[in-house]
Amino acid sequence: MPETDYLPGVCNIGGGEVRRRQFVALVGLFFSITSLIALIVMNAPREARIGIFFPLLVASVGYVQSRSKFCLAFGFAGTFNFGKLGDISRVSDADNRATDRKTALTILLKSFLLAAIATLVVLAVPF
């Protein structure tokens, strides 16, 4: 895809990069589920459940990035990619980089909030 697909603060990754984020979300979900099963099987204390936050955060970051078609790492770094994987281009305009950083921070906060809510649900469920 051509560079014209880049929209500051809106879209900085193409199809291949979106699929990569979807895979990260699935890996995070897999580790979240297996961690929860392990906690239940081991009859772990309620305090130990807080550790599920980290795999939930990985799942959340992958999910939010894939849905928004925006990579938070690329946003913070001032880059984008619509070509083959690893073929990264730089954002030349300073205002566009600032807009991308703001969107990246928003994605990070959304992901953190989503993981925190899911963790609170895990903490609240009796088992």
- Report the pLDDT value the prediction gives residue 127, as an integer from 0 to 100: 78
| 122: CB partners within 8 A, 6+ apart | 36, 49, 52
How many structural domains compose the chain? 1
For residue 124, give Cα distances in angstroms to 41, 118, 121: 17, 10, 5
Give pLDDT, residue 4: 54
Instruction: Tell me what percent of the residues of the chain surpass a pLDDT of 90.
Output: 88
Phi, then psi, of 125 in degrees rounded to 5 = -75, 125
Q: State the pLDDT at residue 40.
A: 92
Q: Is 77 exposed, middle or buried (CB count within 10 Å of its CB: 0-12, 13-18, 19+)?
A: middle
- By residue range, what is the domain housing residue 82? 3-124
pLDDT for 8 beyond 50: yes
